[in-house]
Amino acid sequence: MIRNPILPGFNPDPSICRVGEDYYIATSTFEWYPGVQIHHSRDLVNWRLVSRPLNRAAQLDMRGNPDSGGIWAPCLSHADGKFWLVYTDVKRLDGAFKDTHNYIVTCETVDGEWSDPIYVNSMGFDPSLFHDDDGRKWFLDLRWNHRGKGTGGNPKHASFDGIILQEWSPERGLFGPATNIFGGTERGLTEGPHLFKRDGWYYLTVAEGGTGYNHAVTMARSRRIEGPYEVHPEKHLITAAHAPEHPIQRTGHGQYVEGHDGRHWHTFLMGRPLSTENGRFSPMGRETGIEEVVWRDGWLWLKEGGQLPRAEISADAKPAGPAAVEHSFGPGALPAEFQWLRSPFPERIFRLSDRGLTLIGRESLGSWFEQSLVARRQEHFVYTAETALDFAPKHYQQAAGLTTYYNRHKLHALILTSEPGIGRALTILSCPGDWPNFALTHPIAPVSVGDGPVELRVDVDHAAQQFYWRQGGDWQAIGPELDAAVISDEGGRGEHASFTGAFVGMVAFDTSGSAAEAHFTRFAYRPS
């Protein structure tokens, strides 16, 4: 049984390719480092993270990138005996302007060392690379019109000015005419183009409707790569916009792949929102799903009809159930499930040794530049996470602890610091979406803590979370029950400014500039 999402937790914009009987999916990572996640499967049921290819400064440096900037919508393909990865590094996304730089890297093996990037352009975002059967390569991306409505742009899309096609080669870069091949449907916000060819037709799939609850996969075709493109009889291959009670929501932005066994599939991003009295919230962000499709009359259709993807699809393999993950930190590499923020220089943020995982206190929890935060994705509605911390802060500007984190203005943190007149103490920092008014929005009297290691825990149950601590005895609750729905796409500033997902992990900061070090000896994540 295939169970959607196939990649739970923050894994949006899935680009899929097949090499023999091996399937690979690349997903966006935004400001989290290293950039791009690539998962592998041979049965479409069980997937394993095999690569984060953008892992050095020559490929990616996101210091200063805003929340939800960074790596948008990668495109993964295989041709000429190697893998090709196209990606965008977004330096600005708010307001009229979007500063979006597009690159291509290659590697003969998906888990090898990927090349230095080839710069392509900065016209827009969501680029892809199409390898035609005559050996030519074509680059597609959205052209962004910062002038907006009434400026000669696409009247249906305002700033979304259409999908631009241009020939490209590694030797020459972009060359030949740049053609606007598709303006989209009335749903608008046309982005995320992917081309493929079948039976003499060029097929184009795009994402439309924005990445919220109006999202959709739209399909079009043409006999000529430059167009004109006619739209699918139903316009949208996949969408849940008309079915708000369906368990899978926000469906769109994916890619077609033909299976090695003759079956046909289309990936899509999706959300599993919580319904609360204050609306719908997606703590896991945008995840990756897949649905079987069939060909009929020269078009793709969902195998079971309609436009709603299923939560379960029959398959030959059995999915693994949720399992607890526990790490005792020591010398070696950081466990694969963890990432950090923005910086290509992790040695300035953390190190692993006999003392465990040492976080080097840098800038604040609100920094866009150098933040010591090592965390993993939330993948379940109900879970417990805990860690053990050894830290000797000298004053209140030095702090370390456990955090549930979405971005710099949506977070909760239980921190160990030093308070005047108290000494070592535990307190809670919380910013429920109202940045820049970062504050102790749930003030508690600091809890005095004796010398030695302290264990910290958080229990998350759908829209509620509770912190705990202990030091050799039983777990003790600390602070009030907090709103976990804030740690979501729609929390705080809302879905249109938030594209990632909830994380839970370890953090340290030292705003005095002294780089105080905090030592974490273990971390556990236990779904329920």
Q: What is the pLDDT of residues 469-481, one digit of tens each?
A: 999 899 999 999 9
Distance from C-alpha of 220 to C-alpha of 216, rounded to nearest angstrom? 13
Which of 43-57, 205-219, 388-402, 440-454 has the least mean pLDDT? 440-454
Which of 117-121, 223-227, 275-279, 469-473 has the least mean pLDDT? 275-279
Separation in Å, CA 288 to CA 7, 27, 201, 240: 5, 8, 27, 15
Cis peptide before 436 (omega within 30 of 0): yes
Which of 311-315, 331-335, 339-343 has the least mean pLDDT? 311-315
183 pLDDT more than 90: yes
The full set of domains in the chain, from first to last, is 2-313 (2.115.10.20), 325-527 (2.60.120.200)
Which of 92-101, 330-339, 383-392, 453-462 has the least mean pLDDT? 92-101
20 pLDDT more than 50: yes
Buried b (16+ CB within 10 A) or exposed e, 400-417: bbbbbbbbbbbbbbbbbb
Spell out the residues 6+ positions from residue 284 whose beta carbon is closer than 8 angstroms to its own: 5, 8, 9, 10, 271, 272, 377, 378, 379, 501, 502
> pLDDT at position 407, please?
92
493 pLDDT more than 60: no
442 pLDDT more than 80: no
What is the pLDDT confidence band of residue 323, given thresholds at 50, 70 and 90? confident
439 pLDDT more than 60: no
> pLDDT at position 495, please?
42
Distance from C-alpha of 165 to C-alpha of 163, rounded to nearest angstrom? 7
Distance from C-alpha of 27 to C-alpha of 36, rounded to nearest angstrom? 6
Distance from C-alpha of 59 to C-alpha of 101, rounded to nearest angstrom? 12
436 pLDDT more than 70: no
Distance from C-alpha of 512 to C-alpha of 39, rounded to nearest angstrom? 40
Average pLDDT over residues 8-18: 98
> pLDDT at position 292, please?
97
Average pLDDT over residues 300-315: 96
437 pLDDT more than 70: no
Distance from C-alpha of 168 to C-alpha of 254, rounded to nearest angstrom? 23
What percent of the chain is predicted at pLDDT more than 70? 95
Instruction: Answer whether 5's CB lies under 8 Å from 11's CB.
Output: yes
151 pLDDT more than 60: no
> pLDDT at position 432, please?
80
Q: Which residues are the active-site residues?
A: 370
What is the pLDDT confidence band of residue 317, given thresholds at 50, 70 and 90? confident
What is the pLDDT confidence band of residue 496, given thresholds at 50, 70 and 90? very low
> pLDDT at position 494, please?
45
Q: What is the pLDDT of residues 161-177, one digit of tens each?
A: 899 999 999 999 999 99
> pLDDT at position 431, please?
86
pTM reported for the whole predicted model? 0.96
By C-alpha distance, which of 129, 6, 21 is closest to 78?
A: 129
What percent of the chain is predicted at pLDDT more than 90? 87
By C-alpha distance, which of 232, 226, 227 is closest to 297?
A: 232
262 pLDDT more than 90: yes
What's the whole-number average pLDDT of the chain?
94
By C-alpha distance, which of 129, 102, 98 is closest to 17?
A: 129
What is the pLDDT confidence band of residue 435, given thresholds at 50, 70 and 90? low
By C-alpha distance, which of 287, 277, 278 is closest to 249?
A: 287
